[in-house]
A = this chain, B = another copy of it.
């Protein structure tokens, strides 16, 4: 059956929706959030612990990555904002903000260093835009959660640094990989000559929360500019899906693996990805983040729906594993996947994205996709003893990477996904007919 072509209207019942709420809410409150509250703060040095094994125990690796510090600031703040905090999330966020500003903010050149040792001594002083983006996102969320002006100060300092140092006012968009003093890195695998969908999507994510915090015209304008840039220059002209990498003028390039990105150690293929290749979870993530921006801006949604629809439908057609459950990694736009493993963050993002699609388009297929992935995560990915999700599974759910915390895995995707899914599930429950 060509499920992705189905136009069958949403026919889920309120009890069916409530069943997911009743499963996920206790899980969030009693398992997932406590998982992180109990172990994410470094009790001796401050900041956030990065590495956690399959049983939830901290490992011997003690590096503190910028990504984990800032994402945890975001996550702890968001837990507090969502009213799910017993006080520990707020305290964790506060101490994390102090630690990160003290050790990771470069007072001379601006921006955030990339990696420090456990005590906070910097070991990698590069300026990576992927991280700077979370400086805006995490600090703005912290400000919104707490009213602490330090959050605003550093969200705005980061935004200003990004524009002073990384914005390409000739070609548009941003450069992404720099040395400490904001000299561009070399090209090729060092990333100094490419622009990526990944970074630009995260900037859209960040600017949305920044604007939510500040309501400044300048922030609003940059948010709309990046939304337009993403959808008009970084999506495939025919398929409408995200393309991964570009040259300075946004000509798409076969994607290569850079240093410093997740999955780099998993990739057994040498060389480049084909141009006809797209990442399902990333696309669906972009869709819900775009919709969130549209809502926050108070913009008319209609012009944005075609691009959102295309990406959601492509993921539904080729990305969802209707046999084993969950979503694959990536593949051609118009054919089956080339990577059947199941990444934790993709499952997380499509939960939110498919629920968003169900709410926007009111079609049953999006609900079916949501339940498919949610059941897969519940049955195969979550370590229910301790509460977090394994990082990577084989197609059939066999555990492949069993760590629960890693430099590219903290509570950001998982906690956000459950919080955001529950919001949408409640909205859906209110919409559908009781039976």
Contacts and interface: CB of A to CB of B under 8 A. Distances in A.
A233 to B, nearest CB: 8
A181 interface: yes
Nearest to A175: B221
Interface string A137-174: 00000000000000000000001100111011111111
A170 B172 contact: yes
Given A169-B226, A172-B170, A228-B170, A217 B163 contact: no
A183 interface: yes
A170 B168 CA distance: 9
A199 to B, nearest CB: 12
A182 interface: yes
A222 interface: yes
Interface residues of A, number: 29
Nearest to A181: B217
Nearest to A221: B184
A170 to B, nearest CB: 4
Contact of A218 (B159, B164, B171, B174): B164
Nearest to A224: B170
A216 interface: yes
A163 B166 CA distance: 10
B217 A170 contact: no
B163 A225 contact: no
B172 A171 contact: yes
A220 to B, nearest CB: 9
A399 interface: no
Nearest to A219: B164
Contacts of A175: 221
A169 B217 contact: no
A175 B218 CA distance: 11
A229 interface: yes
B181 A225 contact: no
B167 A163 contact: yes
Contacts of A221: 165, 175, 182, 184
Rank and list the top 5 A-B pairs by shortest CB-CB distance, nearest first.
Answer: A163-B163, A170-B225, A165-B218, A183-B217, A170-B229
25 contacts: A160-B160, A160-B163, A160-B164, A163-B163, A163-B164, A163-B167, A164-B218, A165-B217, A169-B174, A169-B222, A169-B225, A169-B226, A169-B229, A170-B225, A170-B226, A170-B228, A170-B229, A170-B232, A171-B225, A179-B217, A181-B216, A181-B217, A182-B216, A182-B218, A184-B217
